[in-house]
């Protein structure tokens, strides 16, 4: 047996063992180069064939090519195996568990004031009231004069006013929308006007910007009884069927007679607590029969038409409904607060 033949016999076996130990495709490429590459023993044998005698040349050549084919076949079989393994590993490493919950995109919600306001609008439109708006930068005439508060009227002090310029203020209440809505039109009227109002005031229960809804109705036979009836229905809708109301006589220049409306504290049911300052009652707003002078300012004959009006704070309703202790929590935009609502 020639030296070439001996080494050929061992080569296949050697390659088989080396391939069995290989675990990655790059390592497989190395093994292939070692056994089949230009510098491999096999290539050496093939290169040396030319120098052999005729009979040996044919035999060794045939055998060397056979061994080369076999090793090629072994390498390719191992490559298939490793490839399959790597594919499986890649698949299992990146496995998707489609039963896991997905990433939840944070979802916004309506602001508590918006929700209260929509509730108010839904209630009154259901009774046939229209919805009006007015500017937040308002003329002094609409905010005061037309509402029977001439320039030196002491009632102006009650409304801690932000002045914009000589003629304008940030509206201190929604009552000027009464004037804007009624001027130049003929009764009957049934309107509400929700919106932002401003007063120079700040405490846990007061914000310099807050929300009111104005409600007014003018017709030929409107009385205080209509006002009470609608206020009761409204407060039952907002606060629940068992709400208890109290009218206290009061004074507003633009209504006569005037009253303030309180409801029994929903937190302590009248026993007294921090929310109602131990009084058992919470102020809901002001109301009364529209003063004849206000109707005259709008070009309406007070001998023929009468009406009622009331103005109510929306912020306090939101605070009570969701148990918000401090009005500023409504406007600070803290998502942790809003998320609980
Ligand atoms: N505008 C008054 C206020 O804000 C409330 C009110 C409205 C009173 C309508 C009577 C009638 O204080």
Digit-coded pLDDT (tens) for 184-240:
999 999 999 999 999 999 888 889 999 999 999 999 999 999 999 999 999 999 988
Instruction: Give me the pLDDT at residue 320, please.
Output: 85
Say if residue 35 is in the same domain as residue 130.
no
Output the average pLDDT for the chain: 91
Say if residue 28 is in the same domain as residue 164.
no
Window from 66-75, 91-100, 138-147, 227-236 with minimum mean pLDDT: 91-100
Closest atom, ligand 1, to C-alpha of 312: 5
331 lies in which domain range?
A: 112-338
Q: Residue 117: what are its φ and ψ, rounded to 5°?
A: -60, -40
Say if residue 295 is in the same domain as residue 179.
yes
Say if residue 84 is in the same domain as residue 170.
no
Instruction: Give me the pLDDT at residue 1, please.
Output: 47
Alpha-carbon span 238 to 38, nearest angstrom: 92
Q: Does residue 6 have a pLDDT over 80?
A: no
Which spans in the chain are helix H?
Answer: 3-21, 25-36, 41-48, 54-93, 112-126, 140-143, 176-182, 224-239, 292-297, 314-322, 335-338
Which mutation among 250, 285, 307, 315 tests ligand 1's pocket best, with the greatest number of atoms within 8 A of CB? 285
What is the 3-state composition of the chain as percent helix, strand, coil, each rounded to the nearest 5? Answer: 45, 20, 35
Q: Does residue 291 have a pLDDT over 50?
A: yes
Residue nearest to atom 3 of ligand 1 (CA): 173
Say if residue 31 is in the same domain as residue 151.
no
Ligand 1 pocket, residue 112 CB under 6 Å:
no
Window from 131-140, 211-220, 316-325 with minimum mean pLDDT: 316-325
Closest atom, ligand 1, to C-alpha of 308: 11
Closest atom, ligand 1, to C-alpha of 172: 4
Under 8 Å CB-to-CB from 33, ≥6 apart: which residues?
Answer: 39, 40
Count how many domains the chain has: 2
Give residue 308 CA to ligand 1 midpoint distance, Å: 11
Q: Does residue 125 have a pLDDT over 50?
A: yes
């Amino acid at each position: 047996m020639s030296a070439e033949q001996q080494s050929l016999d061992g080569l296949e076996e050697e390659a088989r063992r080396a391939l069995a130990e290989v675990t990655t495709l790059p390592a497989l490429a190395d093994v292939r180069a070692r056994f089949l590459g230009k510098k491999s023993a096999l290539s050496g044998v093939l290169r040396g064939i030319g120098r052999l005698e005729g009979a040996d040349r044919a035999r060794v050549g045939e055998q060397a090519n056979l061994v080369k084919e076999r090793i090629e076949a072994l390498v390719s079989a191992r490559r298939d195996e490793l490839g399959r393994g790597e594919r499986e590993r890649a698949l299992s490493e990146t496995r998707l568990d489609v039963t896991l919950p997905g990433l939840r995109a944070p979802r916004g919600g309506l602001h508590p004031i918006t929700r209260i306001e929509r509730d108010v609008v839904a209630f009154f439109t259901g009774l046939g009231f229209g919805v009006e708006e007015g500017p937040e930068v308002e003329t002094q005439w609409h905010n005061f004069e037309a509402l029977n508060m001439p320039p030196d009227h002491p009632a102006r002090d009650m409304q801690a006013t932000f002045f914009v310029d000589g003629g304008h203020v940030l509206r201190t209440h929604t009552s000027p929308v009464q004037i804007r809505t009624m001027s130049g039109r003929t009764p009957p009227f049934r309107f509400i006007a929700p919106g932002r109002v401003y007063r120079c005031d700040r405490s846990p229960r007061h914000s310099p910007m807050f929300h009111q809804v104005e409600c007014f109705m003018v017709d030929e036979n409107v009385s205080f009884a209509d006002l009470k009836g609608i206020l009761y229905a409204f407060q039952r809708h907002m606060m629940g069927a068992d709400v208890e109301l109290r009218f206290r006589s009061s004074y507003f220049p633009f209504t006569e007679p005037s009253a303030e409306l309180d409801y029994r504290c929903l937190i302590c049911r009248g026993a007294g607590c921090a929310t109602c300052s131990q009084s058992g009652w919470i102020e809901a707003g002001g109301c009364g029969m529209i003063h004849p002078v206000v109707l005259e300012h709008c070009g309406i004959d007070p001998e023929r038409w009468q009406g009622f009006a009331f103005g109510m704070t929306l912020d306090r309703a939101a605070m009570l409904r969701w148990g918000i202790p401090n009005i500023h929590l409504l406007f600070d935009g803290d998502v942790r607060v809003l998320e609980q609502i």
